Amino acid sequence: MLRAGLKPGSRLVDLGCGVLRAGYWLIHFLDPGCYCGIEPHQGRLEMGVHTILKPGMLDLKRPRFDTNPHFDTSVFGDKFDFFLAYSVWTHAAKQQIEIMLDSFLRDSTDDAVFLTSCLPANWRHADYRGEQWYGTSHESDVPGCIYHRIRWIRAQCDQRGLTLRKLGRDETHGQSWIEIRRLPQSQHL
């Protein structure tokens, strides 16, 4: 995130923030009021807020949270410099990914960055065609991950005037990182 330009004054929304594994560090790094997190699984979010964050951190850093299951970033009434979705697209159906891309267009600044991870579909792992969230969540206790074709993600970005750049693989879980940005206005005509 630092290589992508994250600064203490950046406004960031963490989609699927869970128990705040990344949120802990981001909340500490960012200026007060700059971190927002969405986690539909209320129990996970409560565990993170009450167990992982140290006492007084909520008052000091003023992070904001929401539990809407649609990852609707408009609930914060803000424009964000960064969107983060780590290990969210490995569970999200295509329609949910499209909603997140639309939210990025609506609720981000012109030079914003969307960093997300996914598992690319290939001959061993089929492109997910289901219409529901897959894996543990507020709706399911069944674990699992899904795969999406990078070509499909790129097409969705192209339709919205966004660029996609592959950044490499996550060493912990083998997910591929993607950076999404708006096309410069001169290229989006």
The CATH H-level (homologous superfamily) assignment of domain 12-184 is Vaccinia Virus protein VP39 (3.40.50.150)
The sign one gets for the Cα dihedral 156, 84, 120, 165 is: positive
pLDDT tens profile 152-179: 999 999 999 999 998 877 776 678 889 9
Whether the model clears a pTM of 0.75, i.e. scores above it, the answer is yes
pLDDT at residue 187 is higher than 70: no
pLDDT tens profile 93-143: 899 999 999 999 999 999 999 999 988 888 998 888 888 877 766 666 767
User: DSSP string spanning 60-84?
Assistant: HH--EEE--TT--GGGG---EEEEE
Structure tokens at 41: 């699984």
Cβ-proximal residues to 50 (8 Å cutoff; 6+ apart), any chain: none
Cβ-proximal residues to 145 (8 Å cutoff; 6+ apart), any chain: 90, 91, 119, 134, 135
Spatial contact of 94 and 65, defined as CB atoms under 8 Å apart: no
189 vs 159, which has greater pLDDT? Answer: 159
